[in-house]
Structure 1
Amino acid sequence: MRIMRRPRALVAVVAGAFLLTGCGAGPSQVGTAALVDGKLTTIDQVQGLLNRAVREQPFARELAAQHKLDLVGREIVRQAVLHEVLAKAARKEGVTADADAIDAVAQKDPLGGELPAAAAQDEAAGVTQLVWRLRDHREALTDQYLEQKLAVKYLPSLTVNFDYTSVGAPSSDGQAPSVDAKTARGEAIAKAEKYAKNPGAITAELQGGAQGNVGQQVPALSSPADAATVLFGVPANTAIAFQPNPAAAPTWWVTAVVRQRATGKQVATDQVQQPTAAQLGAIGIRLLQPYVQEVDTKINPRYGVWDPVGMNLAPNSAELAGVVLPVQGAAPAQQ
Structure 2
Amino acid sequence: MRIMGRRRALVGVLAGSLLLAGCNAGPGQVGAAVIVDGESVSVDRVQQLIDKAVREHPYGQQLAKEHKLDLVGREIVRQEILHDLTERAAQREGVQVDESLVVAALQNDPLAKPMEAKQQNDPALSVQQLVARVRDHREALVDAALQTQLALKYLDKLTVTFDFSSVSSTDATGSDADKLREQAIEKARRFAASPNAAAEVIQQDQKTSDTQAGTGQKLPAMQSPATAATVLFGLEPNTVAAFQPTPQQPLWVVVVVRERAADKPVASDQPAQPTAQQLAGVGIRLLQPYLDQVDLKVNPRYGVWDVVGMDLAPNEASKKGIVLPVHGATPQNP
Same fold per TM (> 0.5)?
A: yes
**Amino acid across the alignment from 1:241:** A
* 1:287 lines up with 2:283 in the alignment: no
Cα gap change, 1:245/1:39 in structure 2, threshold over 3 Å: closer, same or farther? same
Deviation at 1:216, TM superposition (A): 1.3
Aligned partners of 1:101 and 1:244: how far apart in 2?
34
Aligned partners of 1:223 and 1:323: how far apart in 2?
22
Deviations 1:22-69 (A, max 9, x none): 4xx952221110111222211111111111111111111111111111
Aligned partners of 1:10 and 1:241: how far apart in 2?
35
* 1:225 lines up with 2:220 in the alignment: no
1:181 maps to what in 2?
A: 177
Aligned partners of 2:268 and 2:243: how far apart in 1?
26
2:260 maps to what in 1?
A: 261
1:15 maps to what in 2?
A: 10
Aligned partners of 1:259 and 1:10: how far apart in 2?
33
Tell me whether 140-149 or 252-261 shows the greater mean CA deviation.
Answer: 252-261
**Amino acid across the alignment from 1:242:** F
The answer to whether the 8 Å contact 2:95/2:146 transfers is: yes
2:271 maps to what in 1?
A: 272
2:158 maps to what in 1?
A: 158
SS at match of 2:198: coil
Deviations 1:292-324 (A, max 9, x none): 111121110100111100000111111111000
Identity of aligned residues (%): 50
Aligned partners of 2:267 and 2:116: how far apart in 1?
41
Aligned partners of 2:5 and 2:191: how far apart in 1?
36
Deviations 1:84-125 (A, max 9, x none): 111111111111111111111111110002125675531000
Runs of 4 or more above 3 Å deviation: 116-120, 175-179
Deviation at 1:10, TM superposition (A): 5.5
- List runs of 5+ in structure 2 lacking aligned partners: none
1:1-335 matches, cutoff 5 A: 5-7=1-3, 9=4, 11-18=6-13, 19-20=16-17, 21-22=19-20, 26-116=26-116, 119-168=119-168, 176=171, 180-197=176-193, 198-209=197-208, 210-246=211-247, 248-249=248-249, 251-334=250-333
User: Alpha carbon RMSD of aligned pairs, Å?
Assistant: 1.9
The answer to whether the 8 Å contact 1:309/1:320 transfers is: yes
The answer to whether the 8 Å contact 2:199/2:215 transfers is: no
Aligned partners of 2:286 and 2:167: how far apart in 1?
26
The answer to whether the 8 Å contact 2:33/2:46 transfers is: yes
The answer to whether the 8 Å contact 1:161/1:216 transfers is: yes
Cα gap change, 1:84/1:120 in structure 2, threshold over 3 Å: closer, same or farther? farther
Aligned partners of 1:65 and 1:118: how far apart in 2?
13
Deviation at 1:17, TM superposition (A): 2.5
Deviation at 1:83, TM superposition (A): 0.6
Cα gap change, 1:57/1:131 in structure 2, threshold over 3 Å: closer, same or farther? same
Cα gap change, 1:190/1:13 in structure 2, threshold over 3 Å: closer, same or farther? farther
**Amino acid across the alignment from 1:207:** Q
The answer to whether the 8 Å contact 2:10/2:149 transfers is: no
The answer to whether the 8 Å contact 1:239/1:326 transfers is: yes
Cα gap change, 1:41/1:150 in structure 2, threshold over 3 Å: closer, same or farther? same
Deviation at 1:205, TM superposition (A): 2.4
